[in-house]
Structure 1
Amino acid sequence: MPPSSLHYALVTVGTPGQTFMVALDTGSDLFWLPCQCDGCTPPATAASGSATFYIPGMSSTSKAVPCNSNFCDLQKECSTALQCPYKMVYVSAGTSSSGFLVEDVLYLSTENAHPQILKAQIMLGCGQTQTGSFLDAAAPNGLFGLGIDEVSVPSILAQKGLTSNSFSMCFGRDGIGRISFGDQESSDQEETPLDINRQHPTYAITISGITVGNKPTDMDFITIFDTGTSFTYLADPAYTYITQSFHAQVQANRHAADSRIPFEYCYDLSSSEARFPIPDIILRTVTGSMFPVIDPGQVISIQEHEYVYCLAIVKSMKLNIIGQNFMTGLRVVFDRERKILGWKKFNCFSPSTSENYSPQEARNPAGVSQLRPLNNSAPAALYDSLLLMLILVHLAVN
């Protein structure tokens, strides 16, 4: 199997602060950390300098969410009125997190000439039992839910008036990026309306056409944007059209089927080449905006000195999911206030440029998130964006 690739961010929670490297997931809502965890054993190497478990009793600002809270969805399962349980079940087979809800502070820092520390009271899950992919290092240090529901961190920050009800994520091609809470738009971005299902709200949009190289076609389908999914999953007819059109235009030897690789279309790389010319893939939205796929593939090591380039799309039976690989090289704006998805090619380390950036120029203070203020007012005012550094981590999942 090729390694799974997820973006993580360092976040600091509690008093005194404990730092965790959490996976970022727009496909789920709750922020949870491994906590008093009998049902899971995160690897000690989950993150350099990060804590293994969140321990509420060691934080003077931690308090349990009571059973009668509006945030408590499992009130009928409360064993005590003082503590609300939670259980999150994920799409991956047998994958879940359960425990109880707590409130604590998340540390933020203003990004200006005189940085200020801001403590935002948020809600999170104290995860006592993890199952499935979480035991295979999918999110060994916790999961940062960025979904639409009111329990997600973007929702809480907006409810408290700290940021606008929007955020963006920038995925650098070098594996480093950032998440920016409160970021709504730029004047030159492409955008399209979000198709929000009230029963199961996700960041979904309608695609009305696909172009692969010199082959455009009309095709209507709905797809979800999910940063918690490494690769892109497409059902027919979109999957067959893209893969076959791609294959017809690639001048390379197709690699024989390999049960270790989940991708159907892979191509042999010679020792002298890292890549070969590939056709552009562009998705046309219902508004006519064009979503460019910067690099849809992944280079995989088959054995020593032998590599293949794979079109990193997995065939799905039903759901269409745009994963992280299709978002690489873009800043994607999840504007929940305007119900808009926006995007543009972007330099993750400078708001105004798109090339020649240097990760060394954008280092965060260790364990502290960054917040850029709208003006020079006190930290309680509205801020235009909260910044977190993202790190792409490759995890070998069997």
Structure 2
Amino acid sequence: MGASLMQDRDLNEYRPSLSSTSRHLPCSHQLCDLSSECKGPKDPCPYKDQYASDNTSSSGFLIEDKLHLASDGRNAAQSSVQASIILGCGRKQSGGYLDGAAPDGLLGLGPGSISVPSLLAKAGLIPNSFSICLNENDSGRILFGDQGHIDQRSTPFLPVEGRLSSYFVGVESICVRSVCLKQTGFQTLIDSGTSFTYLPNEVYEKVVAEFDKHVNATRITDQQSPWEYCYNASSQELKNIPQMKFTFSKNQTFLIQNPLLTFPGSQDYTAFCLTVIQTNEDYGTIGQDFLKGYRMVFDRENLRFGWSSSNCQDSMGDTENLTSASHSGSPNSLPANQQQTIPNTPAVPPAVAGKTSPKPSIVTASRHTSWHLLSSLSLIFIYGYLVKLM
């Protein structure tokens, strides 16, 4: 169920000037969060995003354009639709973005009203959910409207000041091999846009110390590396790297498929690093390195994060196992003037939150319809994912 974004082909650069349907979002628009920085209401709305990585940022202007979707023919009154989305068209990048992480700008996937899943759900095109799958080859796909497998594991999202404004979940413990460490519970952000995983200082010290106990390899020091625990190992020693897993609520385990980054050290040895970084924040971030090998479902409608093992090739052809949620309520799942509220749940530290949900004038269709992106459109590569636009 949903529309997929697949990063498995050559990508063309998106240029708003070549699109007959693109337009700058004006500063007077309700979704312009930085209107105070505009000189006039008709000026293009700017965006600025600063990330945890050193000096990594993206800034530019917000662009509205059409996402073209084709129906699979089930429960659909139309064979195709055009959905208005908003993206950040980059003018200035810094830090890691200069290395190709976001060559064109940013596409929002958060709970805020400006994100693509929010706009598609608000239009009634999809359930308010989407999935991301990342594989070891740095390829993957996004499926809008996907609520996952019936047998997937899941854990509830935690609120920020009572609302779903970021994808936080609760970690009860971290296990290294068969040892589940005490006092390693914390709250963490699930963030596919962060390259690596960050742990609060006290948790970090316990995890890396336990990991180091189980590694039978020579530890090496590289002052250029952001990671403290790197080793030289033979191929035989690499086979004995300790397994790691996170335990979420109700004993739901999230096995880390590969916690290491490996690179050639010499003819006989391979260097590898545990890609965990300590942070002074009281919450953590699970990044791309620990999320690979999973189909991750961000079910904003049911306020849950779900996961199941995947090679990222089965996300489209596996619709018979998708959950079929009931959509008896209004198709506009997010309230018009606030983030989605999560009742009776503990709060987590504030993080960067999106704006509220609008009521965009976009074509509507059955929420039980599966929508696929038309293949004849030009391509844009934003924030690590492929989007098809006019």
TM-score normalised by the chain length of structure 1: 0.72
Matched, 1:260 2:260: no
Provide, for residues 26-76 of structure 1, a one-character-per-residue CA deviation record: whole Å limited to 9, x for no partner.
xxxxxxxxxxxxxxxxxxxxx94512x5233x3221223233221012222
Distance 1:107 1:305 in 2: 51
Alignment partner of 2:37 out of 57, 60, 77: 77
- Shift in CA distance, 234/340, structure 1 to aligned 2, threshold 3 Å: same
Matched, 1:332 2:296: yes
> Which residue of structure 2 aligns with residue 235 of structure 1?
200
Q: Structure 1: 5+ residue runs without aligned partners? A: 1-8, 12-20, 22-46, 355-373, 394-398
- Shift in CA distance, 111/310, structure 1 to aligned 2, threshold 3 Å: farther
Alignment partner of 2:187 out of 222, 228, 232: 222
Matched, 1:296 2:259: yes
Alignment partner of 1:50 out of 6, 12, 17: 12
- Shift in CA distance, 214/132, structure 1 to aligned 2, threshold 3 Å: closer
Matched, 1:62 2:47: no
Alignment of 1:181-196 (within 5 A): 181-196=144-159
Alignment-mate amino acid for residue 198 of structure 2 = Y
- Shift in CA distance, 349/83, structure 1 to aligned 2, threshold 3 Å: same
Contact persistence 1:182–1:383 (CA under 8 A): no
The percent of aligned pairs where both chains have the same amino acid is 35
> Which residue of structure 1 aligns with residue 123 of structure 2?
160
Provide, for residues 73-106 of structure 1, a one-character-per-residue CA deviation record: whole Å limited to 9, x for no partner.
2222222322342222222343333333232112
**Which piece of structure 1 moves more, 123-132 or 336-345?**
123-132
Structure 1 residue ranges, 4+ long, deviating more than 6 angstroms after superposition: 112-115, 387-393
- Shift in CA distance, 240/153, structure 1 to aligned 2, threshold 3 Å: same
Alignment of 1:245-394 (within 5 A): 245-250=210-215, 252-270=216-234, 273=236, 275-302=238-265, 306-318=269-281, 319-351=283-315, 380-382=365-367
Provide, for residues 207-258 of structure 1, a one-character-per-residue CA deviation record: whole Å limited to 9, x for no partner.
11122112113432111111111211112222122211112122x2223211
Alignment-mate amino acid for residue 83 of structure 1 = D
Contact persistence 1:207–1:222 (CA under 8 A): yes
When the two chains are superposed, the root-mean-square deviation of aligned CA atoms in Å is 3.5
Higher relative contact order (CA 8 A, sep 6+): 2
Distance 2:213 2:280 in 1: 23
Distance 1:132 1:298 in 2: 20
- Shift in CA distance, 131/306, structure 1 to aligned 2, threshold 3 Å: same
Contact persistence 2:47–2:62 (CA under 8 A): no
Shift of 1:139: 1.2
- Report SS of the residue matched to 2:220: coil
> Which residue of structure 2 aligns with residue 365 of structure 1?
none
Matched, 1:146 2:134: no
Provide, for residues 159-182 of structure 1, a one-character-per-residue CA deviation record: whole Å limited to 9, x for no partner.
111111111112224443321111
Contact persistence 1:232–1:313 (CA under 8 A): yes
Distance 1:307 1:79 in 2: 56
Distance 1:138 1:174 in 2: 15
> Which residue of structure 1 aligns with residue 61 of structure 2?
100
> Which residue of structure 2 aligns with residue 33 of structure 1?
none
Alignment partner of 1:212 out of 159, 176, 192: 176
- Shift in CA distance, 174/391, structure 1 to aligned 2, threshold 3 Å: farther
Alignment-mate amino acid for residue 60 of structure 1 = S
Q: Structure 2: 5+ residue runs without aligned partners? A: 319-325, 327-362, 374-378, 385-390
Shift of 1:276: 1.9
Alignment partner of 1:244 out of 195, 203, 209: 209
- Shift in CA distance, 118/277, structure 1 to aligned 2, threshold 3 Å: farther
